[in-house]
Amino acid sequence: MSEPAIHTERQMIRPEKDTFLAEENPFEAMMERFDHAAQLLKLDSGLYKVLRNPEKQIITSVPVVRDNGEVEVYTGYRVLYNTSRGPAKGGIRFDLNVTLEEVKALAAWMTWKCALVNIPFGGAKGGVVCDPTAMSMQELERVTRRYTSSIIETLGPDSDVPAPDVNTNERVMAWIMDTYSMHKRHTVTAVVTGKPVEMGGSLGRREATGRGCMIVTREALARLGMSLKGARVAIQGFGNVGSVTADLLAKEGAVIVAVSDKSSGLHNAKGLDVGDVLKWVRERRQLAGYPKADAIPNDQVLTLDCDVVVPAATENVITRKNAPHIKAKIICEGANGPTTAAADEILEKKGIFVIPDILANAGGVTVSYFEWVQDRGGYFWDEDTVNRRLESIMVRSFTEVVSWAERHAVNTRIASYMIAIDRVAAMHRLRGMYA
């Protein structure tokens, strides 16, 4: 499209609030990058309007009887952002901070992520506003099944395929699959991914996001003429993504100098014994109190002197306030949306190589795609096959992003968006407009 059409839409936001929106509103932060990429692609104004708006947004009440007999009504969301390239794909999170704007942004990110690694999915995301840590297992199951039944018309292997996300796991996916299957009167394993292996889950799925982060970090270091062996890495977030990334990087010879979770940050300039830290967390469920490292504030992990920083926790942790203090040469975004648009400009001026979230953490959805393929075919692969095929896709996608960045003289994030938007737009042009 022509630039003026995009500027006309953006001018609806008052200039003095634009920076605030980009820093605080996850959807506007995502769309700021989208707008830049769309301008460079000269995206048609009609397609711009289509791609800037989600296809479907569901807000539903989730009434549940608590163990004490009282009824609680939670709010649930499911957003299908774009399904032109295939079934919607995206996680479900249970968290008190879930909002429609966040879910919408995450659904859009999933759209671009799937297109970037060129797998045949569109983007979706869902969530329930609740505190799963304050629920019994029975209450959590009731919430899951009631939420599933409330969005069941959108779900299906050919329409919308959920996966685990914040505070959800294999067991929650098993409940969703069972609820959906009971309504359909036959077992439908391909309706969700991230399931237990025993019921159609894929080998390698749990480690996939962290493995993808390890692969692209290795490629980025090589790009800068550095070796993964001996590279100093700090990781914010020690959940599934952060802990697996730390473990795999350490096994490849990297020195993990710091990790953190909600309870504490840990720092050891000579390197942490990741296996020992993992054992501590398995036994105590948090990093706090670990005796073989210095305790530091969680946010300090991002600004330590190191070669690679991996923000693997939540959105908006790298902002205009702390971006000037980041010393790492590479940022690998294990989390979704960890860097604000305002921080991007600072990082680019500092010459920091950013592996954007829609590339860095795409390993999870890639192996979810493998799981979906295996479920539908009824034939399952060994773990070496899964990991080999994941590596092939991640390396190819990294190479494409770097190539686009050089060709168009843009940073890696905008290059990633350009590739993704170009692929989604191409599908819309081929399919035409149903009216």
Q: What is the pLDDT of residues 104-119, one digit of tens each?
A: 989 999 999 999 999 9
pLDDT given for residue 24 in this prediction: 61
Residue 13 resides in a domain: yes
Count of the separate structural domains present in the chain: 3
Q: Given CA atoms 121, 358, 239, 20 in this order, what sign does their dihedral have?
A: negative
What is the average pLDDT across 279-286? 92
CATH number at residue 237: 3.40.50.720
Q: Residue 11: which pLDDT band, with cuts at 50, 70 and 90?
A: very low
Check whether residue 47 and residue 133 sit in a common domain: no
Q: Which of 163, 224, 222, 211 is nearest to 334 (CA)?
A: 211
Check whether residue 62 and residue 174 sit in a common domain: yes
Check whether residue 234 and residue 179 sit in a common domain: no
Residue 342 resides in a domain: yes
Residue 331 resides in a domain: yes
Chain segment 32-70, per-residue pLDDT in tens: 899 999 999 999 999 999 999 999 999 999 999 999 999
Q: Judge contact between 129 and 74, C-beta under 8 A.
A: yes
Kindly name the residue from 125, 184, 262, 279 that is annotated as catalytic: 125
Q: State the residue for tokens 């391909």.
A: 190
Measured CA to CA, the distance from residue 77 to residue 312 in angstroms comes to 23
3-state secondary structure 148-163: HHHCCCCCECCCEEEE
Q: Judge contact between 323 and 345, C-beta under 8 A.
A: no
Check whether residue 289 and residue 264 sit in a common domain: yes
What is the average pLDDT across 409-417? 96
Q: Residue 6: which pLDDT band, with cuts at 50, 70 and 90?
A: very low
Check whether residue 40 and residue 67 sit in a common domain: no
Check whether residue 129 and residue 239 sit in a common domain: no
Q: Judge contact between 410 and 32, C-beta under 8 A.
A: no
Reply yes or no on whether the pLDDT at 9 is more than 80: no
Check whether residue 155 and residue 27 sit in a common domain: no
Chain segment 208-258, per-residue pLDDT in tens: 999 999 999 999 999 999 999 999 999 999 988 999 999 999 999 999 999
pLDDT given for residue 314 in this prediction: 80
Phi, psi of 352 (to 5 degrees): -80, 130
Structural domain range at position 309: 208-360
Check whether residue 139 and residue 238 sit in a common domain: no
CATH number at residue 130: 3.40.50.10860
Residue 317 resides in a domain: yes
Residue with the larger pLDDT of the pair 7 and 104: 104
End-to-end CA distance of the chain: 21
Chain segment 79-102, per-residue pLDDT in tens: 999 999 999 999 999 999 999 999
Q: Judge contact between 306 and 233, C-beta under 8 A.
A: yes
Residue with the larger pLDDT of the pair 136 and 316: 136
Note if 251 is an active site residue: no
Residue 389 resides in a domain: no
Q: Which of 302, 306, 313 is nearest to 338 (CA)?
A: 313
